[in-house]
Structure 1
């Protein structure tokens, strides 16, 4: 098999540059990095992982801790993170926390402490003091997505702000009887998302002179089925039916559209519906949404990890970075019928 000298000759660079480009250690310009990778691919040259790890003291592996594996948001963040890690020459080890407290303890007390990763990415998990200290004791780069973690760089959206934006959109169309499908109490475990989004919804109503009606709020579990069941309960009674629904996730909003149609209601003629996420199927359903771009979140988090792993690569970034969102108006929202 061709060696590093052959790759350097074909790419027109030094062997040291080849080593930096393929290992991800040290500065190499983007164009040179691409040229080196193309030369290595042409020659069939593959870096020996054990040898590279022994030489650098690194595993070229990032551990990603995620609470759910089957939900669209998390899989989208993982897709963005995985693609960015691949571009930087890193592998990904996934630690799912779907098995309950014992599994969660094993991840933080055993698996991550084996130090088989160079860095850790935590997706929308509000860590306990002990869990956070375990990660900090690793002396490894850590980035969180979803909310602030003491001593850790994080990315997050303003959950109060996105709910405010979504509800204000409905109010701006002339709706005054606005319902909400929010999160169940179990989702309070991580950054209080249900409470924050309900707070944004109620703040928007009060600012518009509308007193929030608790009968127009229904909790659900952030799934299409959960949204369907909650919307059915809110929309079934024509006497107290809202003219608009704000769902705290696109999946619940999609479920709400299906429920409305099964009840013989027109969307948006009889009820306007808006969600949050920018789900891949939101355009198909004509869903108005506040997009939060989860793939970009994953890629951005990886770049922050790379900055920690390779200091000096870019200018330092703030500890907690607010993420951009965008209101995308489609056909599921319109002024109420007069």
Structure 2
């Protein structure tokens, strides 16, 4: 997720470093009819509800990490919520209501995901380099991982789980300095072993497995590109290459999700929209909020597609508050399009 500079939170490092990305793109070739089922077309998302308002203490609100629980309720995190205000919320999208799930004194949580191994909620604390887990009801907070990886603390942004419950984290280390020090880190499900799979990255942000769990897609904020790590089936990297270059203007690449057909949903920061690609890098669609809403919104950070269905819920934030917008995805929802 990309963050605009904000005021420091009490007890936190300056959260101006919480700038992760969003973007728009174009593909080469003849223009497509936006009304057709194929090609670069516009999908108009509709407002579901406002979840949060701008916090007086931090001067902003930023929704991220949407993920459905087993009861079909949507969890989201508010990255900039100060101590005492909800940092994790549960939303009933049918009733258009929300309730607090978790808060604490210091966390700046940028993503949420349920582990397939122990069923707990895992949160990335970008500001402190920790990964925290909660019971499904939001209680029993535990620090799952903290400390250095290969001599440096992480700035963990998004995360993905493999089927065995091992974690794959986008580490945006170096972002505040504008240096390509970012990494993709694999953490064994016990939390004891962490391995760097890729380094020298430009503020990696979104991360998601492909539809077959053969490799990882990850976006790099300050290069506006999506890269692909092919894995060897044993937790190591077989190859790596740049897969998609995103022409976004002032916007940057934020979180990325993948549907059952392998399509990529690339969140945009600096524009309340998402770009959709197929697995070969062809631009399929742009998801946009209605024009009347766009002036008060700045980022579409992430999306969760209903597991087994096509109803998608996009987290969108700006001076008007933090919102959920809904649209019909191009493919069904899976674990790779549910959180991270």
Answer yes or no: same fold by TM over 0.5.
no
The structure where strand makes up a greater share of residues is 2
The structure where helix makes up a greater share of residues is 1
Considering Cα pairs closer than 8 Å and 6+ residues apart, tell me whether 1 or 2 has the greater RCO.
Answer: 2
- Normalised to the residue count of structure 2, the TM-score between the two structures is 0.27
